[in-house]
């Protein structure tokens, strides 16, 4: 058993000033989280001195591993020159140019500071452009923590949005419609039901309920439908962007949305968000158009410097080929293990994302809910005891990074072998 004495004491103190002892809810691992001292490569070290191989990786951003030296140098070079100007810079132009070149669905973009801000602004742009009010999201899809997207599954495909959180008036979510993932019929019915739908927003691969993959032809069909019903398609690629391919899921699957949101990886661990898309839509953003959007920290020089460095590393290291192959190997090893042990679990994933579902392979959110969440959480704690940090929830994706070596993976397989 790992000794978490200091973390336990820290948790007791932290609870006095931080709700739940943390700064974001996923970090509140029961009975108390480990508090981190430092991280480097694929390893994260807690304040008791325990070291873990990390598959959480900041919930996705650290695809190059923690404290990547190239990113670190780019940030520190920027720090030498000051780190917040309130004026435009050349480096944000360069990063924008590189992102637009990589994403088929992005001609023009705006930098913001988080993924939450990106989806909030993309939805505003969609509404501003179309003059329509409603939007459709996928049940179980996560797009950050702003009011209109904090709506989970209703009972039926077309129930009007009921907020997930106190403090969100139903008036603010009444324009939020829900459709189950991988269900074209339900989406068609929704789009048929109203001519006031500005956009469909979706994670092309559902990343916030574990990786749940699009069925053959699903994304293509959604693209066709949204065109047919004159509704914009927004791919929320805050997780899949730069993860599945340089050009995200839209490159990987060859389906081009009208608007795209990015975040996480492109900040190299610094705060960032991006929303971009067709020029005729994004040109409507202030100051060139009348859809208002602004931010003190938007295009933050340190985040932008990190972003350019991330792209340098991804290009130079041929990262996606390496990582996607590593992902394939991990999934196949875990699948064999599950089969050998006669467990009725399912190994899911794509690219460098993977996950064992404690149940049948899910195709949508309702399926994921049927998995053994408690069993999974026990498994998480066993893995932590073995020095492996995977996200504590059955609903979160495990990530690989360029910093994971063959030896790290072998140690991880041993832990899986004994903990499963
Ligand atoms: C993490 C995430 C967000 C929110 O990004 P933040 O930077 O945490 O605000 C939005 N959409 C998806 C798909 C995400 O995974």
Q: Do 33 and 127 reside in the same domain of the chain? A: no
Q: Whose CA is nearest to atom 11 of ligand 1?
A: 143
- Choose among 331, 373, 333: nearest CA to 354: 331
Task: Identify the domain boundary among 269, 288, 315.
Answer: 315
Cα(386) to centroid(ligand 1), Å: 29
- Same domain? 182 vs 276: yes
Q: Is the pLDDT of residue 158 over 60?
A: no
- 98 Cα–ligand 1 center, Å: 21
- 155 and 26 together in one domain: no
pLDDT category at 154 given cuts 50, 70, 90 is: very low
Is the distance from CB of 403 to CB of 42 less than 8 angstroms? yes
What is the DSSP secondary-structure string of 278-331?
A: -HHHHTTBTTTSSB----TTTT-HHHHHHHHHHHHHHHHTTHHHHHHHHHHHHH
In a shared domain, residues 146 and 187:
yes
Nearest residue to 103 (alpha-carbon basis) of 252, 268, 231, 298: 252
Q: Structurally, how many domains does the chain consist of?
A: 2
At 160 the pLDDT is 55
Does a structural domain hold residue 159? yes
Contact 120, 114 (CB under 8 A): no
Ligand 1 atom closest to the Cα of residue 59 is 1
Counting residues of the chain whose pLDDT is more than 70, the rounded percentage is 98
| pLDDT, tens only, 304-338 | 999 999 999 999 999 999 999 999 999 999 999 99
Residue closest by Cα to atom 10 of ligand 1: 143
Q: What is the pLDDT of residue 161?
A: 67
For ligand 1, mutation pick of 25, 140, 144 (most atoms within 8 Å of CB): 144
- pLDDT class for 376, splitting at 50, 70, 90? very high
State which of 137, 145, 208, 234 you would mutate to test the pocket of ligand 1, scoring each by most atoms of that ligand within 8 A of its C-beta.
Answer: 208
Candidate from 58, 116, 265 with most ligand 1 atoms within 8 A of CB, to mutate: 116
Ligand 1 atom, smallest distance to 117 CA: 9
Domain assignment present for residue 60? The answer is no
Q: Where are the alpha helices (DSSP H) in 103-228?
A: 115-130, 170-173, 184-193, 218-228
Strands 232-236 and 259-263: parallel
Of 108-122, 149-163, 383-397, the range with the lowest mean pLDDT is: 149-163
Q: What is the rounded average pLDDT of the residues 84-101?
A: 98
Tens-place pLDDT, residues 352-365: 999 999 999 999 99
Distance 60 CA to ligand 1 centre (A): 10
Q: Mean pLDDT over residues 92-116, rounded?
A: 98
Residue minimizing CA distance to atom 6 of ligand 1: 115
| Co-location of 150 and 198 in the same domain | yes
Rounded to the nearest integer, the mean pLDDT of the chain is 96
Q: At residue 5, does pLDDT exceed 60?
A: yes
How much distance in Å is there from the Cα of 145 to the middle of ligand 1? 8
Tens digits of residue pLDDT in 53-74: 999 999 999 999 999 999 999 9
Find the farthest-apart pair of alpha carbons in the chain and give their distance in angstroms, rounded: 60
**Per-residue model confidence (pLDDT) at position 156:** 36
Q: Are 394 and 317 in contact (CB under 8 A)?
A: no
Same domain, 130 and 235: yes
**Torsion sign (Cα): 209, 211, 214, 215:** negative
Predicted local distance difference test score (pLDDT) of residue 153: 37
Q: Are residues 277 and 394 in the same domain?
A: no
The CATH number for 265's domain is: 3.40.640.10
Q: What is the pLDDT of residue 155?
A: 33
Q: List, chain by chain if needed, residues with CB within 6 Å of any ligand 1 atom.
A: 114-116, 119, 142-144, 203, 207-208, 236, 238-239, 263, 273
Domain that holds residue 28: 5-55+318-419
Q: Which pTM was predicted?
A: 0.97
């Amino acid at each position: 058993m790992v000794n978490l004495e200091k973390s336990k004491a820290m948790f007791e103190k932290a609870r006095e000033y931080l709700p739940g002892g943390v700064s974001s809810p996923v970090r509140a691992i029961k009975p108390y989280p480990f508090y981190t001292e430092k991280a480097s490569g694929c390893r994260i070290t807690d304040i008791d001195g325990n070291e873990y191989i990390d598959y959480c990786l900041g919930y996705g951003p650290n695809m190059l591993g923690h404290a990547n030296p190239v990113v670190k140098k780019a940030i520190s070079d920027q720090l030498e020159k000051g780190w917040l100007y309130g004026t435009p810079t050349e480096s944000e132009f360069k990063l924008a140019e590189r992102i637009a070149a990589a994403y088929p669905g992005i001609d023009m973009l705006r930098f913001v500071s988080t993924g939450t801000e990106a989806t909030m602004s993309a939805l505003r742009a969609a509404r501003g452009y179309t003059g329509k009010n409603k939007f459709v999201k996928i049940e179980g899809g996560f797009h950050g923590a702003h009011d209109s997207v904090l709506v989970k599954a209703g009972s039926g495909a077309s129930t009007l949005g009921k907020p997930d959180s106190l403090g969100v008036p139903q008036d603010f979510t009444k324009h939020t419609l829900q459709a189950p993932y991988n269900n074209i019929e339900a989406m068609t019915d929704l789009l048929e039901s109203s001519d006031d739908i500005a956009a469909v927003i979706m994670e092309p691969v559902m990343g916030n309920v574990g990786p749940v993959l699009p069925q053959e032809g699903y994304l293509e069909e959604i693209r066709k439908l949204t065109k047919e019903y004159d509704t914009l398609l927004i791919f929320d690629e805050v997780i899949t962007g730069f993860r599945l391919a340089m050009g995200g899921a839209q490159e990987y699957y060859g389906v081009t949305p009208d608007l795209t949101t990015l975040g996480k990886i492109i900040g190299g661990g610094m705060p960032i968000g991006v929303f971009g898309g067709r020029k005729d839509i994004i040109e409507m953003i202030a100051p060139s158009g009348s859809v208002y959007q602004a931010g003190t920290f938007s295009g933050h020089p340190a985040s932008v410097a990190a972003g350019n460095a991330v792209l340098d590393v991804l290009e130079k290291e041929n990262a996606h080929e390496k990582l996607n192959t590593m992902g394939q190997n991990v999934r196949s090893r875990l699948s064999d293990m599950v089969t050998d042990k006669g467990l009725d679990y399912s190994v899911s994933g794509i690219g460098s994302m993977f996950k064992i579902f404690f149940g049948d392979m899910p195709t949508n959110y309702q399926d994921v809910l049927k998995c053994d969440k408690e069993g999974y959480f026990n498994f998480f704690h066993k893995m932590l005891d073995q020095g492996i940090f995977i996200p504590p929830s059955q609903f979160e994706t495990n990530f690989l990074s360029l910093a994971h070596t063959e030896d790290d993976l072998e140690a991880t397989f041993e832990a899986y072998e004994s903990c499963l």
